[in-house]
Chain A
């Protein structure tokens, strides 16, 4: 039997940032490659009430390394002629690769706790997280997945588009219905901008799933 070409030069093991179909299944089918979500980000300030329409699509998922990535599209952004698309990378709080403590991006433990506690599903975990960031928790069968999404670059506009991606999102994904809630954190932006997204099936009468494999 001929051997797989990829295996002759380098046995396919686990590769960071890749979605190897056989070795690392996606955490949840609703959070797998190609899945779309849409909803709003509330950007209200003291001056006025405002919300953007937001679409998110998952483009990569690597459970083993607690990695997720995708794009985020903001639709009715003030001052922008076109929708603004960013590429983000996510850290999945699996207590192995990442804990609830961010330890970077100018977020203190206090900032972390203040944001996580905004999710009702987090309250059951609070006491353990306060001790060690949740290292001792086993979240593999928890119905919610906590993540941090950090935007890396603008996909379709320049950095002079009047928006900043200096901050990051605290995110909570509900495995039951595929809904996503999040809060944007950036010391230099309005606090607690809320992200609310629902899983979409794009005109289909059901759900469908793609997959790719990197070698």
Chain B
């Protein structure tokens, strides 16, 4: 028989406690190597759509916030177009779509400024409710964890991803809380009865 000659993906290893040095060196106190940390600013003056703030933390199985987590987000612009690689067109030039944020060393809290994403079609053509992809790495996490944040003030009832979940009582783990107009909170729980839904896509 012939061989398929496919390679195997490089196995993941934990980002470790010092992920900040490589990914957000200015945050970690290493100045003068890069002018700024990548992903710190997602929207510039003139970005379309509603400016919003998202705050949160990542919690371990004992209910303690991770003080060394790094979260990355990837989302479309206000019109539902991704700013690079989207076959449907070019996205908002004043919006990056990608952000990277470290939890505070003492409290584990992170926060970022973005715009509310527009809806994007699922592969079968149905519309997904507006959402933001999150990717979480930290010491003790052996492979990055992917999840999604949905909005409490949008109609999520016909979303194809939420709709395919067997345990409907887990859907709320993917929906942010609204703190005030334009301010949302999204807590990511790694374990427990409110464990956030993580995806393998």
A-B interaction: no
Query: Which residues on B are within 8 Å of A, measured CB to CB?
Result: none
Query: Which residues on A are within 8 Å of B, measured CB to CB?
Result: none
